[in-house]
Amino acid sequence: MPFCHYGLAAFGHFVLDGLLQIYLNHRALTSGEAILVHWPFEEAWMSDLIAQLDLPRTARRVLRKDAALLETARLSSALAGHGVYFPAAYSLKFFDWLRERLVGTRTVPTSFKRLYIRRRAGGRRPVHDQDQLEGFLRGRGFEILDPHAESVSRQAQRIAGADLLLSSWGSGLALAPLLGGARRVLELTPETVTDVWFSRQAAVNGLRYTPIIHPSTDGSIRPNLPAIDQALGRLA
C-alpha cells in the first residue's frame, strides 16, 4: 500500500492524508494483511511521527529505487488529498486516535490559552513583519509556537492545551482539531486563496473558525493589526 502523501512542504497533507491512511488501515497494517511502502523520508520529524503510531516494523517497507518511470506526469498531492479537502465523519475518530498517540493521558491545561503558529521565514506565502506581529500578539496573551523548533508531539500537546489558535492559511492549522476549550481558530487569509479547505475541516470538527482576509497578490501576508485586534475583540 503506497503511503499516499509526504513532503517537506506539505505537513498538512502528511497529517491529514498520510496519517489518516494509516488510521483507516491500522488493523490491516498491524495484522500483516497490508504493508505500507514509501521512499526514504526527507525529514526526521516524519519518521519520529510514524514511530508513535503503534505500527510493527514489519508494517513498513522503504523503497530504494523508482517503482515507475514516467516520461510525462502531472501528479500532485491533490490525488491523495481526500482527508484534506473532503473531511467527513471519519475525521472525528481520526483525531481522537491521533490525540491518544500524540497527547496521550497527559494532563491537558484547562485554563484559557492563546497560541500563534509561526510561519517559516523565507518559505512559501511568508508572513511579513512577523516580529512586529508576534510582539502585538504577546501583548494580547498569545504564546508563540514555532513548528520548526518543536517536535510534532510537543506541538500537539500545546495545541490540545489551548482554546484559541491563530495562524496564516496553510499547513499550520492541520492540528487545530486537537484544540480544547472554546476551540476557536483565527486564520490570516490572503485574498488570493481560492481553496477554502480549512473551512470544511472546521465545520466537520466543530471548530469556531474566522478568516481575516488580507490584501495580497502573491499569497504572502502583511498583517493588518487593527483587523486582527478587531477580530480578537469580537471573541471577548
For the chain, strand residue ranges (E) read 36-38, 60-62, 114-117, 142-145, 164-168, 184-190, 208-214
pLDDT tens by residue, 121-178: 777 789 999 999 999 999 999 999 999 899 999 999 999 999 999 999 998 999 999 9
pLDDT band, very low/low/confident/very high, at 109 (cuts 50, 70, 90): low
Report d(CA 7, CA 53) in Å as an integer.
18
pLDDT value of residue 78: 46
pLDDT tens by residue, 82-108: 788 888 888 889 999 999 999 986 656
pLDDT value of residue 66: 65
Average pLDDT over residues 31-57: 90
The alpha carbon dihedral of 25, 29, 35, 37 has a sign of positive
pLDDT value of residue 65: 73
What's the CATH code, domain 114-235? 3.40.50.450
Q: Vertex 174, ends 168 and 175: CA angle to 5°?
A: 115
Q: Vertex 15, ends 202 and 23: CA angle to 5°?
A: 100
Q: Give a three-class secondary structure readout of 73-110.
A: CCCCHHHHCHHHHCCCCHHHHHHHHHHHHHCCCCCCCC
Average pLDDT over residues 15-33: 93
Share of the chain above pLDDT 90, in %: 62
pLDDT value of residue 76: 45
pLDDT tens by residue, 45-83: 898 999 999 999 999 999 887 666 556 554 444 445 678
pLDDT value of residue 77: 46
Is the confidence at residue 191, as pLDDT, over 90? yes
Is the confidence at residue 198, as pLDDT, over 70? yes
Report d(CA 51, CA 82) in Å as an integer.
23
Query: Could you state, in order of their start, the residue ranges of all structural domains in the chain?
Result: 11-86, 114-235
pLDDT value of residue 145: 96
